[in-house]
Chains A and B, each alone.
Chain A
Amino acid sequence: MKEEKINLSELEELKESYQIMNEKLESQEIITPDQIRAATEQKVEYLETELKTILIWGFIVAFPLLILFFHISYGLSTCALIISGAYCLVNAVVSAFMLRRIRRKDMAALDLSTLMTRERRYRKTFLIMLVLSEVFWVAFSFIFMTNSLGIIMLVILILMTVPRYYHSFVKAYKEGLQGKIEEQPSLLGRIGKIVGYTVLGIMILAMGAFAVLYIISFFKIGFENIEWTNYLNLFVALGFTISLIKLVFETTGKNKGHKPSIFTIVLFSLTILLFFTSNIINYSKGVFDMDIIFMMAVSVMLIIGFIRRRKM
């Protein structure tokens, strides 16, 4: 009984603290009329620019250019052109719809739990769209272009996927039941999370294995027989692996943020730069094919995507 009384008074204390906070805030101006106007205008402008940037650069400029490049390099058939055109169109429409919906709609009309359920549904749809997109591009490369390009595409998409999925998985993990109205997550939800983490783990392990195998191959061939540009590639593989591992620690560490640090971004960018250098040298030595140019183009997109994701 006594303990209950103490507890109740503690809750009262919380109310009292809240009261104190309100009293303190009473004396503060917080925002002036001019600031209200400036802040609202600035924010609306920023959000709209952000949306337009994604749509215009992503779907109206980047994708068609990429397809045009494929067409020039690989001579895409009419069927492939139609399919890729349809893909771009569908993607642009769905993205435009989703980006607009997620942003501001029904912010005041809906209650909190409905809004959060919708938000989760949109995020899930977005991830599904991403997976479908990746499957599409890999299949497209294998069917309409060369097998080697298909494999390169697969690797690149895995690399692009890791940070994006990783963010979502960590967020889901950290939030736990946050915002969920159910007392317990559904069985399917739990399975989804386990599968998510497993996929992520496999991706990181695969990257790590790639780097280790690369190093082993050096010993096998003998260092004297290795071109010095291959050493650059070794650093590329290590750079990718380290930046991935760092990304994992940064976003799961107890006191760390959700975002990759500047160090990881720099490391990742340097790795890409190294990758460019290595390939440019190869090109100057006459070792060249169109895949390299393609990989370079995608690498640039990867950097931009990585940095943009950090800004979001």
Chain B
Amino acid sequence: MKDLELEFTKMVREYRKTIYSVCYFFSDNPTEVDDLFQEVLVNLWKGYPDFRNESSIKTWIWRVSLNTCCTIQKRDRRNVPTVPLLIDKDLFSESDQAGQQVKMLYDRINKLEVFDRAIILLWLESMSYDEIGAIVGLSTSAVTSRLFRIKEQLKSMSNK
């Protein structure tokens, strides 16, 4: 049990950026990000003993993170116990150009539907269409056409 826990902790630490990115794009405020992050942790922990390396650990973490963030119900998080994450809350502030770029990315992705948000995040992660399809449950051709539509949507947002 102890070994499993150590392995799990190591894995979470290694993929913390992935989990955080997903939670970041699926939430409205920092407290919600913390809460979502912990929801993902619980699901990862519950599924970890059954993880059989049938897919890569990266794909598995993406899948669990997206599944959690897409299906979780909106709720009042004030009464839910949350451990605050160790992250600079002004990390993506618009004070510099990099921050502005991240904010622009967030704003655009946040306007997409939940399912499209998941697909575009996987695309941004430079995953192949096959991998995206396996995670979201669409055929490669369906991913292609869906991504085309999402990109068009993103382009139209930038034209506005």
Which residues on A are within 8 Å of B, measured CB to CB? Answer: 7, 10-11, 13-18, 20-22, 24-26, 28-33, 35-40, 42-44, 46-47, 104, 107-116, 119, 171, 175-181, 258-259, 310-312
Contact = CB atoms under 8 A, between A and B. Distances in A.
B-side interface mostly: helix
B108 A108 contact: no
A108 B67 contact: yes
Given A30-B87, A258-B74, A311 B79 contact: yes
Given A30-B85, A31-B16, A36-B9, A178 B41 contact: no
B115 A39 contact: no
B155 A7 contact: yes
B1 interface: no
Contacts of A180: 115
11 contacts: A28-B88, A30-B87, A36-B8, A40-B45, A43-B39, A43-B41, A113-B137, A177-B113, A178-B113, A178-B114, A259-B75
B115 A181 contact: yes
Contacts of A107: 43, 46-47, 64, 67-68
A31 B21 contact: no
A32 B91 CA distance: 18
Given A14-B105, A42-B83, A107-B43, A112 B136 contact: yes
A37 B115 contact: no
B13 A310 contact: no
Given A108-B60, A108-B64, A112-B63, A21 B92 contact: yes
B30 to A, nearest CB: 12
A66 to B, nearest CB: 26
B104 interface: yes
Contacts of A20: 98, 101-102
A38 B92 CA distance: 26
A37 B102 contact: no
Contacts of A10: 154-155, 158
B115 A114 contact: no
B14 to A, nearest CB: 11
A287 B136 CA distance: 63
Contacts of A44: 42, 45
A119 B71 CA distance: 7
Most chain A CB atoms below 10 A, which of B66, B83, B92, B155: B83
Given A17-B101, A112-B118, A37 B42 contact: no
The 5 closest A-B pairs by CB, nearest first: A111-B137, A108-B47, A113-B137, A17-B105, A17-B101
Given A11-B154, A119-B71, 11 more contacts: A17-B104, A18-B124, A24-B98, A26-B17, A29-B87, A30-B86, A31-B12, A35-B86, A109-B50, A111-B136, A112-B115
